[in-house]
Amino acid sequence: MAIQKFAVSTDGHSAHHDEEARFRLWQETYCGRIDDLKRLSSDPFTGHWSFTRIGDFGMCRFRGTPHAGQRETQQIATSGDEKLSIGFNLAKTTHRFFQRGRETVVPDSQPLLYRADEAYGYVGASDYVVMAFPRRMLGALGARAEALVGRSLDGELPALRHLRRYLCLLDEPDMATDDPALADHVLDTVEDLVVLALGASGDAQVMAQMRGMRSARHAEITALIARGFADPAFSVQRLATTIGVSPGYIQKLLHESGQSFTERVLELRLAKARAMLADRRNDALKVSDIALACGFSDISYFNRSFRRRFGSAPNDFRSR
């Protein structure tokens, strides 16, 4: 099993057509595999869909022009597997969702549970992430989940907040891989977060909390470290404040994977410094400038750390 990715976009469509002709051409090309879409205004329509698939689990992230869409029964693949979906409205505006004769208003960041194997419609969507998963993933929770179909869920539940962040992280292009162990790990994490969000109890709740929540937290922490390490003021205290946990919890979670916060940040800073030193485009920069750009505020500490890590002084890597 692998983590597979592909994308569909309106970018690059012929500029020789007027807007209406471009939209019709796009509909004819792609709407068979997505939804039947309708524009809500005469403004130019743009859209980018990125898809991720792992076995019979799938997710999609959309960004683009607000629009209306519907998916009819004949468009839904008859795979013989009942599918449920959880979608998150990531726009700053609300959109409306229709299924089973019920209309649901979906505010910003609000999650929604619906049947992916039944007809549905929506109006006003412009930024969302949605996942589809087999009903059997829920086990005994399936009957309870059925009562929630077409309804908004509590977006403040920790499991749903983590699920939203985890899906957005999974949407990153570099998450594609042929590693079956990683794919299995991702599916386990998603499953645990879903069953927690829909009301798991007893042993199932304990197992999901131990596995899914911790895994999602770890993924979020490492992603934020990768984004912020080059800031000299980046610290475990700042990171803890950002995600609403204690510094000790972050340290404990990172230690379980073999590196402390300080070790992980230092490794990323040194790797970036080495790459910058070896790039001829940076030959005009001083070593101290490169060190600062990588998050080091003390040049002596940078030199010692670099030599200890790579066995040579920073200048030895210039323009390699």
pLDDT, one tens digit per residue, over 86-123 is 999 999 889 999 998 899 999 887 899 998 888 899 99
Higher pLDDT, 9 or 167: 167
pLDDT, residue 96, reads 93
pLDDT, residue 201, reads 46
Spatial separation of the C-alpha atoms in residues 149 and 143, rounded to whole Å = 11
**Cα Rg, the chain, nearest whole Å:** 23
Among the residue ranges 66-70, 107-111, 113-117, 177-181, the one predicted with the least confidence is 177-181
Which residue pairs from 253-256 have beta carbons closer than 8 angstroms and sit at least 24 positions apart in sequence?
A: 253/214, 253/217, 253/218, 253/221, 254/218, 254/221, 256/218
Higher pLDDT, 23 or 289: 289
pLDDT-derived band at 29, boundaries 50, 70, 90? low
The pair phi, psi for residue 2, each rounded to 5°, is -135, 165
pLDDT in tens, 199-242: 644 444 444 455 556 667 777 788 888 889 999 999 999 988 88
pLDDT in tens, 270-306: 999 999 998 888 888 999 999 999 999 999 999 999 9
